[in-house]
A and B are shown apart, each in its own frame.
Chain A
Amino acid sequence: MGRRKLEDDDDNNNSKEFKSKNLQAERRRRQKLSDRLLTLRSLVPIITNMNKATIIDDAITYIQELQKTSQVLSEQLLEMEGSSEESVMPMKLEIDVAQHDMKKCGIKEEVKVSNIDGNKFLIKIIVEKKRGCFTQLIEAMNYLGFELSETNVTTFSGAMLFSSCVHGKYGDTLMVEHIEELLSEMMRSMKTSSQSAIELGNTN
């Protein structure tokens, strides 16, 4: 494993120096390895002998055991998940809460675009927070050919504030108003689609 061959030197001093430098480095390396092996040993509830080879073996078997256990547990969890009935309810609750909160705080939905430089824009959007609205926003950005260089999203009181510094990938300069219009359009369609989803859910 990288044992250096010591050349027999005419110059005794040289070879001695070389040897001692190597020695120390080698010692340190070995020390480092043995320390780590010791840590490994402490982690593993081994059963067999305490020599270097068996500690590695036992570590292997222990890891396999742990992997198996975690797999079993996760399967169990999936199984239990499938049989639970709780998941449907929270979604409806969320949405109602969100709408309520936003109105209470007087936050209005908004789309604002400003041109920074050439093809760069600063976009600020406030929407009502819903499941998956971030994804929709990003999809909208992609659709418009924007590359997000700095993004910031915060949620509060049932609203989501999306602010991002973008620049157009496609090279042609878009007008600010144009962008604002497009984005508002998208937001409206997002809203209506999600509302119909809610209604669908309500009737079920």
Chain B
Amino acid sequence: MKVYEESGCFDPHSLTDCQELMGLPGATPTNCHNSLEDTLTVSSYNHHHHEDASAALDMEPQQHYLLDNTTNSHSHLIPYLTQDLPYDQSHWESFNVVPSSSSPEAAAAAAAAASAYTPTPDLLSLFHLPRCSFLPNPSISFETTPGSPSVVYDPLFHLNLPPQPPVFRELLQSLPHGYTVPADDKDAARVGGLYHDGDNGIIQFTRDISMAGRAKDRDKAGKTTKHFATERERRVHLNDKYQALRTMVPSPTKNDRASIVDDAIKYIKELLGTVRELKILVDKKRCGQERSKRLKTEDAGSAADAGDVECKPLGDPDQCYNTSLRSSWLQRKSKDSEVDVRIVDDEVTIKLVQRKKINCLLFVSRLLDELQLDLQHVAGGNIGDYYSFLFNTKIYEGSSVYACAIANKLIDVVDRQYAAAPPTSSTSL
């Protein structure tokens, strides 16, 4: 999708979209798309006018990144109107890093958007306007509420865009000359603070602002490289990614990085196994269907209807082998129960451990019937506080259940029953 337009036309409508988006943290991906385009074109427009911005903001890779991440659970499609902070110092009077109580980055977002809202593309006015605004400023016809900046901040992470400093010129002016304004202690240490020039207009960032906090250019391979304004931003960004990964796995346990990665590894292996199993099943099914079709055509005596057979397996057409043995193994854990499903060819072994509350045997057996599993052996009962069961079953001919489905349904049923049962006092036994 070509989102990055080089058109120079400024579309005021796009900004209203942007405003709404800014005000609605819960914007869904689908209705963000168009406004995303628009707002990004606006930014690109501004980009072009910042001649001095040294290769500053290349929006395209970010958009790319944005769009690729649409499926993420974060509603991060709120476009972030980054204004290229020109590195030319003459323009920097209106920017600084602010130790506001709300996140400075969020305020910056609002500021940037505010500055972009000006209808005139005039460079200077762009920088003058924010001077007059306190942020968050409801009078700037933003629908942002004071609380929302923190939400607006959220989507940024996947943009890899470091925040733009808001404009608190007054605040700056109130500072004594040469006083540094750190966002917080750590940031100050890293950013190196700001220096108020004698001219009271020029603020310089130190340290890596030259690469300064914005997601940047492509490298040779055409992929973005990230340069964050502060180490803190980088960490927060990374943490969010870990959280996103965590939300994808079915039953996450501990909330620390190593466990998250561990869960992800297990889940990926499980998914690979499921996909493999499904492929085998589909193949078997198809072979079976082909065979029955062939049989039917033979019965009908019309052997000439070779056209009925859709696929001829290699070798002997009468023997549709699928020699691959299906084997899969899954585990699902929930708060009170644990399910372990192993399938080898057509035998399914299910282990169920459940905290003793209700005897779920009835529901489980109903589910097994539903899944067309033929019980061969059941063993189980009380073990201390838990019920533990082992089911050995066979899959009825012609049915194609797969491990994942079994496990998920089982744990679902068990949990539901568990939840439905009223809390009972422990029976004396």
Residue pair B248, A64 in contact (C-beta under 8 Å): yes
Binding site for A on B (CB under 8 A): 68, 71-72, 223, 226, 235, 237-239, 241-242, 244-245, 248-249, 256-258, 261-262, 264-265, 267-269, 271-272, 274-275, 278-279, 281-282, 285-286, 288-289, 292, 359, 361-362, 365-366, 368-369, 374-382, 389, 396-400, 402, 404-405, 427, 429
Distance to closest chain A CB from B320 (angstroms): 14
Q: A43-B265, A165-B381 are in contact. Are A147 and B359 (CB under 8 A)?
A: yes
Number of A-B contacts (CB under 8 A): 154
On whether the beta carbons of B286 and A80 are closer than 8 Å, the reply is yes
Nearest B-chain residue to A35, judged by Cβ: B258
Taking A63-B264, A86-B288, A152-B379 as contacts, is the C-beta distance between A74 and B405 under 8 angstroms? yes
13 contacts between A and B (CB under 8 A): A40-B261, A53-B226, A56-B244, A59-B264, A70-B274, A73-B278, A74-B278, A84-B285, A86-B288, A134-B365, A142-B362, A149-B382, A151-B379
CB distance from B116 to the nearest CB of A (A): 28
Q: Select the stretch in A44-52, A173-181, A182-190 that faces chain B.
A: A44-52
Residues of A within 8 A of B382 (CB): 149-150
Asked whether B405 lies within 8 Å of A155 as measured between CB atoms, the reply is no
Q: Is there a chain B Cβ closer than 8 Å to A32's Cβ?
A: yes
B378:A151 contact, CB within 8 angstroms: yes
Q: Bound complex: CA of A8 vs CA of B249, how far in Å? A: 42
A76-101 Cβ-contact flags toward B at 8 Å (1 or 0): 11001101111100110010000000
Contact B285–A155 (Cβ < 8 Å)? no
Q: A60's contact among B72, B272, B274, B396, by CB below 8 Å, is which?
A: B72
- Closest residue of A by beta carbon distance from B270: A66
B71: chain A residues at CB < 8 Å are 64
Q: Which of the residues A1, A81, A132, A148 comes within 8 Å of B400, measured between beta carbons?
A: A81
Min CB–CB distance B243 → chain A (angstroms): 10
A74–B408 alpha-carbon span in the complex (Å): 14
Q: Are B376 and A155 interface neighbours, CB within 8 A?
A: yes
